[in-house]
Structure 1
Amino acid sequence: MYQTSFESNLERFNRYVMNEIPIRLIRLSDMKFVARNDMRKHFRGSVPEDDLEMRYSPSNTVKYAILSHRWLDEGEPTYEGMKSGIAAGPGYEKLKKFCEKALTYGVEFAWSDTCCIDKSSSTELDESIRSMFRWYENSEICIIHLAQSETIEDIMDDEWMKRGWTLQELLAPRKIKLFSSHWLPMTDDRNDKSHEETKMMKTLERATGIPLDDISIYFSGSFGVDRRMAWAARRKTTRVEDVAYSLMGIFDVSLQIAYGEGGDRAFCRLIEAIMQSGNPSVLNWTGEAAFHPSFSCAIPKSPQNYEGLTRFPNLCQLEMTMTSLGLRVPLVVLPLSISSSIYTEQSEFEERVSQWKVTLECPLCPTIRINFTEYEENSNCQYALGIVNYSLGSCDVPRIPGQSVGFILRRAPEYRSMPRVIVCKPRSEHFPGLKTVFPESHECGQWSKANMTGLVEVNFPEIPSHSYFHISREYVEIVYL
């Protein structure tokens, strides 16, 4: 961010220091804590005079190193121990090594999550957790200590690659430097983040499952929700709530920190906050929905629900609102009928699991056929396709791309209503007018997401991908999931 016409360099500097850097840091010259006001006094003389031709960024003035590591079982230095001057032990020796390496990067201050947060203050802990992504992002260098690695090859099995909080500590910083268990640099480079296919970057890509380019530079708005969730799917945290809390910065959302609420509730709140962005890829998940009476059945149980699915980039923004009736979302709802349903059994965890292989087709375009799996008998269920990438043209006529994306909706017999007749007006020779029996719409959450499938792509024949299929306004339905 750069200065505006109404904000001087000094004003911008002050705002940055008081809001965008850690609450306190370690002064490397004497290993003492300094607060934000101290940082403001220290760097104030380095703020350049106002110049309309110059773009000033406070991060070029306020520089600090930040540590990323795995906590030791033997204990880490605490805020109280550092403040009283009695910090000692293996954790304190690690902290001193970090500070030594930080000095080689020309910084005078450093931050570590073990001792720079007063964890006895719930207010400070809450702010620190919610701000941590920004603190890593604004650091001059992120020094990563890999306690289980001696060589680059060892990185593949290092516990650092498998933890929840270290995902943001890899993605957020502009510069990172990895050190081995004995604090030897893993490479000769000053910055181990690179657009080049270096041995280090290719190893990080394999170890994390994140593409090299996405590691080298990360912008939260550039990636689908499903893609980022898949990056976190195999990572673990000590506190179950941290599965959600550690992802706040990656998704640019903020949650109230409430340890003790449980992992399911924390993850549900995370998904609810993400849904406000309107990115339909948040619905691209399969498997078990979160089980909690106050949350929508459109919310998955964990990041693992997003693994192994087809990604659909550049989806249009979709209006999503969480209500007491569930997730409120307007969709183009196209009826689907069961073409075939085959019963099968499959071994899973030494048990026989009953499944139905279902083929659905769309009466509006019979060439569209969708195959998916159900875990329960489906002959009495009703299905539909909820198109997410549609737009409303003139007179609010829905326009569906030739290549469309949606998810399968289902509802049980008790949710059926009295049928009514809808006439789909002819829009082209390929889609003549149809007289279709379609259930009446209700605002009572009659539809649910078929959880065994994520987003699916359907192609309307004879309609090029850059053209649109126009359909009656009657097929736009407010659905509560």
Structure 2
Amino acid sequence: MKFVVRNDVRKHFRGSVPEDDLEMRYFPPNTVKYAILSHRWLDEGEPTYEGMKSGIAAGPGYEKLKKFCEEAQAYGVELAWSDTCCIDKSSSTELDESIRSMFRWYENSEICIIHLAQSETVEDIMNDGWMKRGWTLQELLAPRKIKLFSSHWLPMTDDRNDKSYEGTRVMKTLERATGIPLDDICIYVSGSFGVDRRMAWAARRKTTRVEDVAYSLMGIFNVSLQIAYGEGGDRAFCRLIEAIMQSGNPSVLNWTGQAASHPSFSRAIPKSPQSYEGLTLRFPNVCQLEMTMTSLGLRVPLVVLPLNINSSIYTEQFEFDQVLDVWKITLECPLCPTIRINFAEYEENSNCQYALGIVNYSLGSCDVPRIPGQSVGFILRRVPERHFMLNDYVTVCKPRSEHFPGLKTVSPASHECGQWSKVYTTGLVEVNFPEIPSDSYFHISREYVEIVYL
């Protein structure tokens, strides 16, 4: 084992890597083949950059490093990389670059060797601490090839690559232990889509530094953040969500529970990955949604359809569920009376106005909004600044049967109301307009497109 720095690697591969030929597409793993280690850090200490450079590294962590290098040789690589000693953590610049590059380093490796320090058999994997750590999520997904080793450095299988579509015993165990579908484990594509589904994978994982909850997910969603340890976990996670929102994929809005408590950020940003648990949603006719963070909050153009509280349960108060300690509410859309949305709120406020903010609409000719028969949106609420009767909320006009049999044109009444906010007890909801085929659209007046600040 020889500890080498960047210049040593550059000299070793000089002549093999095209530096000036801009026409040639260069893929690093084809030339610079290296093994990379995925593991849990030992409480007794790990070899550091300074210790390896000075030649004084020793102890259980150093022995683990040696075993890693021995196993790496079987894959015909000349180089091996470990996060404990291959990052100069005394340099803030290098630390920042390393954390931003981590996903790509695992992705470009020839082999990722995973040491499961608490497992001796495949069944032990279910309870191994490696499955519960934040950084190991990308270390499982990013590499093209992985090899699992037990606590005593015995291979878990006879295969050279444990990532298999065939659903081997160890792969099925990984699928159960992580909750990640087999296809995603075998071939993972990073990007800011399916945010709700993939955030749920990280929901129960822990990190030593609170900021790493966000930093460890950068590569998963293919975004980049400036590293700022000490900013706090809430602020780091808010910045992560802001970066993901720039992609315009509405799945980032599919969350419930507490909004971020940091005063500098929008209330449309959730508090943590736990907010996305259990909320996977199929998006029919997904459209990119313009999302811009402003000083007033998240600026989102939505088709805002008014919702009325169902008169069959609305008297002077909502229906209260004593078991769940929530108010159960049923909302109807005057545009399509067959649509009913059931949800629950923790607070009773009979003066609220409700609406459905459709996210998967498109603007046709003359900027006329087109809404698919299968739509997706989230429930909005706002409190009027003066008391009003519920029946004053809408004015029902003549039917628009030429577009939608039974559809009525509804115009919001003139009320001085507060700002719309997202109902936190529900995520995005699917709404089916039964008179419209799933592959068709109905057109609605431009006045229903509203700029909402959340």
TM-score relative to the length of structure 2: 0.92
Question: Could you tell me which of 394, 397, 403 is aligned with 1:428?
Answer: 403
How far has the Cα of 1:46 moved from its partner? 3.4
- Indicate the SS of the match to 1:259: coil
CA distance in 2, matches of 1:281, 1:456: 11
Structure 1 partner of 2:431: 458
Return closer, same or farther for 1:440/1:110 CA change in 2, 3 Å cut-off: farther
Return closer, same or farther for 1:355/1:46 CA change in 2, 3 Å cut-off: same
User: Aligned letter for 2:430?
Assistant: E
CA distance in 2, matches of 1:50, 1:329: 45
Structure 1 residues 395-474: aligned runs within 5 Å: 395-414=366-385, 426=400, 427-428=402-403, 430-434=405-409, 436-439=411-414, 446-474=419-447
Structure 1 partner of 2:196: 226
Q: Percent identity?
A: 83
CA distance in 2, matches of 1:302, 1:177: 31
- Indicate the SS of the match to 2:450: strand
User: Aligned letter for 2:403?
Assistant: S
Structure 1 residues 285-304: aligned runs within 5 Å: 285-304=255-274
Return closer, same or farther for 1:291/1:78 CA change in 2, 3 Å cut-off: same
Return closer, same or farther for 1:242/1:415 CA change in 2, 3 Å cut-off: farther
Larger CA deviation: 362-371 vs 314-323: 314-323
CA distance in 1, matches of 2:377, 2:58: 57
Question: Could you tell me which of 352, 360, 369 is aligned with 1:381?
Answer: 352
Structure 2: stretches of 5+ with no match in the other structure = none
CA distance in 1, matches of 2:27, 2:52: 32
Matching of residue 68 in structure 1 with residue 45 in structure 2 = no
CA distance in 1, matches of 2:117, 2:407: 67
Question: Could you tell me which of 279, 296, 301 is aligned with 2:249?
Answer: 279
Structure 1 residues 180-329: aligned runs within 5 Å: 180-221=150-191, 223-313=193-283, 315-329=286-300
CA distance in 1, matches of 2:415, 2:442: 23
How far has the Cα of 1:106 moved from its partner? 0.6
Matching of residue 342 in structure 1 with residue 319 in structure 2 = yes
Contact persistence 2:306–2:334 (CA under 8 A): yes
Matching of residue 130 in structure 1 with residue 63 in structure 2 = no
CA distance in 2, matches of 1:45, 1:399: 57
Question: Could you tell me which of 97, 109, 114 is aligned with 2:84?
Answer: 114
Deviations 1:322-361 (A, max 9, x none): 00000000000000011133112236xxxxxx31000000
Structure 2 partner of 1:92: 62
After the TM superposition, which segments of 4 or more aligned residues of structure 1 sit over 4 Å from their partners? 47-56, 415-425, 439-442
How far has the Cα of 1:230 moved from its partner? 0.4
User: Aligned letter for 2:421?
Assistant: S
How far has the Cα of 1:422 moved from its partner? 8.8
Deviations 1:22-78 (A, max 9, x none): xxxxxxxx422221x332321234358999999653321111110000000000001
User: Aligned letter for 1:117?
Assistant: I
Deviations 1:118-144 (A, max 9, x none): 111111111111110011111111100
Contact persistence 2:386–2:416 (CA under 8 A): no
Contact persistence 2:193–2:251 (CA under 8 A): no
Question: Could you tell me which of 441, 445, 448 is aligned with 1:475?
Answer: 448
Matching of residue 371 in structure 1 with residue 342 in structure 2 = yes
How far has the Cα of 1:433 moved from its partner? 4.7
Structure 1: stretches of 5+ with no match in the other structure = 1-29, 348-353
Question: Could you tell me which of 352, 361, 365 is aligned with 1:390?
Answer: 361
CA distance in 1, matches of 2:367, 2:399: 14
Return closer, same or farther for 1:53/1:254 CA change in 2, 3 Å cut-off: closer
Question: Could you tell me which of 105, 110, 132 is aligned with 1:140?
Answer: 110
Deviations 1:236-268 (A, max 9, x none): 111111100100010111111111111111111
Contact persistence 1:420–1:439 (CA under 8 A): no
User: Aligned letter for 1:94?
Assistant: K
Contact persistence 1:336–1:361 (CA under 8 A): yes
TM-score relative to the length of structure 1: 0.87
CA distance in 2, matches of 1:111, 1:181: 20
How far has the Cα of 1:468 moved from its partner? 0.4
Matching of residue 81 in structure 1 with residue 54 in structure 2 = no
Larger CA deviation: 55-64 vs 330-339: 55-64
How far has the Cα of 1:431 moved from its partner? 4.0
CA distance in 2, matches of 1:69, 1:203: 18
CA distance in 2, matches of 1:409, 1:337: 12
CA distance in 1, matches of 2:19, 2:203: 48
CA distance in 1, matches of 2:368, 2:134: 45
Contact persistence 1:241–1:261 (CA under 8 A): yes
CA distance in 2, matches of 1:45, 1:177: 31
Return closer, same or farther for 1:285/1:441 CA change in 2, 3 Å cut-off: farther
CA distance in 2, matches of 1:138, 1:79: 22
CA distance in 1, matches of 2:227, 2:143: 23
User: Aligned letter for 1:158?
Assistant: D
